[in-house]
Structures are given as structure tokens and as C-alpha cells.
Amino acid sequence: MNDEPKPEKSDRIERDAEDIVEAGRELAEARERELKISEEEALIDAELVELQRRKAELEQKKREAQETEVKEEQRIAEDLCDIQNNHGQNGNGGSPGPFKGEVTITINTVDFEEPKGTISYQRVVELAYPDFASFPKATYSIMYERGPKANLQGVLSKGGSVKIDEGMRFRVKRTGES
């Protein structure tokens, strides 16, 4: 008997062996791809956890800001109530507005309560520019309107004063240095 494999059978075994080697390579590549995908999933999961932590942190900050806002609104409401009550004690019947003996004037679109009578150039500058002391050499141009009948409108010069009336308006500009 002849122990040599038949050429046909030998070729088939060789092809099967090559197929097995190729399948092993493909299996190794598939496992490598699966490992990379698993690593990517782990990274995505870690990023998701971090995003959820940051979201929770931001939501906490938002809640704290809202609580602060509510407290501030309550404080403002209480202060307003106190102011209105103080006005009532000063003979103004509790209604908002200037105290008895005061008028509301507007300087550069901001309302101020000032005692009836006259207002000086210096006082108008102080109200218009609270930082005026930081600019000792600055000069200011002051124009007014809606004054009393005797001085409906005009220019207030340095060192001067003018009689004021309810609703009087002043425009003050820092014009330079003297």
C-alpha cells in the first residue's frame, strides 16, 4: 500500500489550512475592532458621566441664583414698603413721591428729590457726576428747562444757582478741563 496522500487530497488539506489561517487572521482583526469599539464606548461613557456631573452642577448654580433673586426681590419689596411707610410719617399720606417740601428734578434722565428753593451749580454737578471729585479741573456745561415762570430755561454757570420747580430738567455735560 502506498502511504503518500493523493495530490488531490493534499491540495484540499493545504487549501483548508490556508482557509483556517485566513479565518484566524480575520477573527483576530474582528476582535481588535471589537476592542477598539469597546474602548470608544468607555470613553463616551466617561464623557457622558462628566457632562451629567457638569449639568447637575449648573442646575444647582441656577437654583441658587433663583433663590438669591427671590430673596433680593423680597428685600426690595420690604425696603419699598418701609420707604412708603416713612413717607406716610412725613405727611405725604404714604404715597410714593417726594417728601413734603421737596420737588422732583431730572438730571441727565435720572430723577432726584431736592428741597424746594434753589439749587447750586455745584449740587447739580454732584448729582450728575458722583465721581466729579476725581476730575478737579473738569468744567461742566449745565442747561435747564421747565423751570419756574421767572426762569423757564437757561444756562447755569459755575458758582451760580437757580430756583427749581417740580419736573425741572437739567442736562449736564463734562466739557473739559479749566
Pick the more confident residue, 4 or 131.
131
Average pLDDT over residues 108-122: 95
> Looking at residue 140, what is its pLDDT?
94
Average pLDDT over residues 171-175: 93
- In the predicted model, what is the mean pLDDT of the chain? 85
Q: What are the residue boundaries of the structural domains of the chain, listed by start?
A: 1-94, 102-177
Q: How close are the terminal C-alpha atoms of the chain, in Å?
A: 129
**Residue partners of 144: CB distance under 8 A and separation at least 6:** 151, 153, 154, 155, 156, 162, 168, 169, 170, 171
> What are phi and psi for residue 105, nearest 5 degrees?
-120, 155
**Cell digits for 64?**
441658587
- Dmax over Cα atoms in the chain, in whole Å? 144
Give, for 149, the enclosing helix (H) or strand (E): none
> Looking at residue 178, what is its pLDDT?
60
**Cell digits for 136?**
478737579
Amino acid type, 163: K
| 0.75 surpassed by pTM | no
The residue ranges of DSSP E strands in 2-137, in sequence order, are 102-107, 110-115, 117-120
Pick the more confident residue, 155 or 87.
155
92 has a pLDDT exceeding 80: no
> Looking at residue 163, what is its pLDDT?
95
Pick the more confident residue, 19 or 69.
19
Distance separating alpha carbons of residues 65 and 71, to the nearest angstrom: 10
**What's the CATH fold of domain 102-177?**
Ubiquitin-like (UB roll) (3.10.20)
What confidence tens digit (pLDDT) does each residue in 37-63 have? Answer: 999 999 999 999 999 999 999 999 988
What confidence tens digit (pLDDT) does each residue in 122-160 have? Answer: 999 999 999 988 888 889 999 999 999 888 999 999 999
**Residue partners of 106: CB distance under 8 A and separation at least 6:** 112, 167, 168, 169, 170
